[in-house]
Amino acid sequence: MSLPPEPAGDASPERSVHRPEPAFRPVAFVALSFVLAGGLGLMLGSVLTLPAIELPRFESPFRDDPFAVADPAGGAWLDRSEPTRVDIDAVDVHAPLTALGLDYEGDFEVPGMWRPHEAGWFEAGPTPGEFGPTVLMGHVDTERSGPAVFYPLKELGEGDRIEVTREDGVVVAYEVTAIESYAKRRLPYEDVFGVEPEPALRLITCGGAFDRRAGDYTENLVVFAAYTGHRDATEKDRDRPLHGRDHFE
């Protein structure tokens, strides 16, 4: 706060020190009111869970025929071989993969909460390098101990490299093309589980707000990645360490 200039030969200095500039008070009053309102808003917003706003989705012209530009037999794609690990050097993810299906309610199965270092792959879909979308899922955090295997996915950027190693020793490389967040009730299966002109990879984890009553996050974060090539695993690939459970404690 700046002090007003001392009027020469006025009253006692103690009183003039305490007198604010005439224009200062209303401005400060308005500014502080805004801060007060903002603070109250933050407090309210952190307590209440607001429903996510859904914008109408415009259908892609390819929806009519997803195979218009995709030719499953037209490339030298790989045969089926199960993935064993995923490596994303950009965000220090080195995780083993387990096979996932559906739970008894028809929801996606996810790795156990007690295995925060583990990610999974959707076994009923294509394997890496096969034509079609390979889908990996992993926890963003656990119930108690903090971040889990796919916590750093939100830091990924377009062009970051993802490598998935298969049981047959082939390393399939992908490049991140998009990162999207969707309300769980409106996960766009056509995009996540649909074909692209080349083999594709999707990484799924949680995002959005945590709904304490449901015990679940409201959104899914989906990383879309496109195939860039594959190679046989080298000695260096095989020596890469995997993050164990103690990495997440």
Candidate list 172, 192, 201, 223; residue touching other proteins; CB under 8 A? 192
Q: Which of residues 72-101 bind other proteins (CB under 8 A)?
A: 72-74, 101
Continuous segment of H or E residues that includes residue 39: helix 24-47
Q: At closest approach, how far in Å is the CB of 186 from other proteins? A: 9
179 binds other proteins (CB under 8 A): no
Q: Is 232 helix (H, G, I), strand (E, B) or coil?
A: strand
Closest residue by Cα to residue 177 from 187, 193, 166, 162 = 162
118 binds other proteins (CB under 8 A): no
Instruction: State the Cα–Cα distance between residues 195 and 66, nearest whole angstrom.
Output: 7
DSSP 75: S
Closest residue by Cα to residue 134 from 202, 204, 72, 76 = 202
220 binds other proteins (CB under 8 A): yes
29 binds other proteins (CB under 8 A): yes
194 binds other proteins (CB under 8 A): yes
Candidate list 3, 10, 60, 244; residue touching other proteins; CB under 8 A? 60
Instruction: State the Cα–Cα distance between residues 136 and 194, nearest whole angstrom.
Output: 14
Tokens linked to 110: 């996810």
Candidate list 3, 6, 69, 240; residue touching other proteins; CB under 8 A? 69
143 binds other proteins (CB under 8 A): yes
Q: Is 206 helix (H, G, I), strand (E, B) or coil?
A: strand
Number of residues that bind other proteins (CB under 8 A): 90
**Shorter beta-carbon distance to other proteins: residue 77 or 169:** 77
